[in-house]
Amino acid sequence: MSLIAKIYPNEVPQLLRSIETQGYAVLENAVTDEGLSWFRQWIEEVSTGSGQGYHAIFGDVEKIDHTPLATLSENDNFRQLMQSMAEKSLGRPLPEQNILAVLRCVQGESGKKKTNTFHYDASVITALLPVEIPQHGEARGDLVMFPNLRPFRASVLFNVIEKTLMQNRLARYLLTKAIKYRLLKPMTLYLKPGNLYFFYGYRSLHANGACDPAFRRATALFHFGDPHYGSTLTRSIVKLNRLLAR
Ligand SMILES: [Fe+2]
């Protein structure tokens, strides 16, 4: 089955220019209709087994073998593209790393808790594939972000302190209020299923916006390039984040 319609590693300079200038880059219709159908079929199966609440599945577990999530994250062209983007952004080669793939389903009342949970990712480049996005109404769960808000930090400790200050209930509450009263204006990225969106997850404070609990918002996320690779502190935080997400 052809999952990816077009991924060309030589598109990196153009993609990075877009990320630098407008906060994100997009490869339109990068995933085929056939590929999207496969994803949706799989998500339906996963959702049935997980109840109708919020859930996330991480791509480093065996249960995603032979799923579209694994197939896409193991695609050579996609991996090369992600690696090249991350290395050019950092200005240095990175040790051998895999793409960390995550399937995230926001649905039902429990999904509301996952709205506006602003955060920085641990990895340089984040690619987001919308699989199911409600196409009607205002609460579609689009991506809300403050792009390129911070540089790549040289110090892992500084990174941790910064994340701790920004990723807590009080900070998120204040941020959400400031957005509500238009004191701060984040960018809203209107997501279209099948497109692949790229942004600096590490540098951009981001979250999904409100999502109508009657609809399911399913996205596949692909992370590549840990700038603090090898740090025990970072590894522990990533593990903790996964546990919390589960
Ligand atoms: Fe993220």
Dump the DSSP string for 143-154.
EEEETT-S---S
Residue 213 DSSP symbol: T
Dist. CA 141–CA 207, nearest whole Å: 9
Per-residue model confidence as pLDDT tens digits over 183-204: 999 999 999 999 999 999 999 9
Instruction: Determine the angle formed by the axes of helices 12-22 and 76-90, rounding to 10 degrees.
Output: 50
More confident residue, 74 or 135: 74
Q: How far is the CA of 215 from the centre of ligand 1 (A)?
A: 21
Give residue 79's Cα distance to chain centre.
15
Q: How far is the CA of 129 from the centre of ligand 1 (A)?
A: 12
Dist. CA 51–CA 233, nearest whole Å: 33
The tokens for 166 are 């920004």
Q: Say whether pLDDT at 50 is over 70.
A: no
User: How does residue 7 score in pLDDT terms, banded at 50, 70 and 90?
Assistant: confident
Q: How far is the CA of 201 from the centre of ligand 1 (A)?
A: 6
Q: How far is the CA of 71 from the centre of ligand 1 (A)?
A: 21
Instruction: Say what percent of the chain tops pLDDT 70.
Output: 85
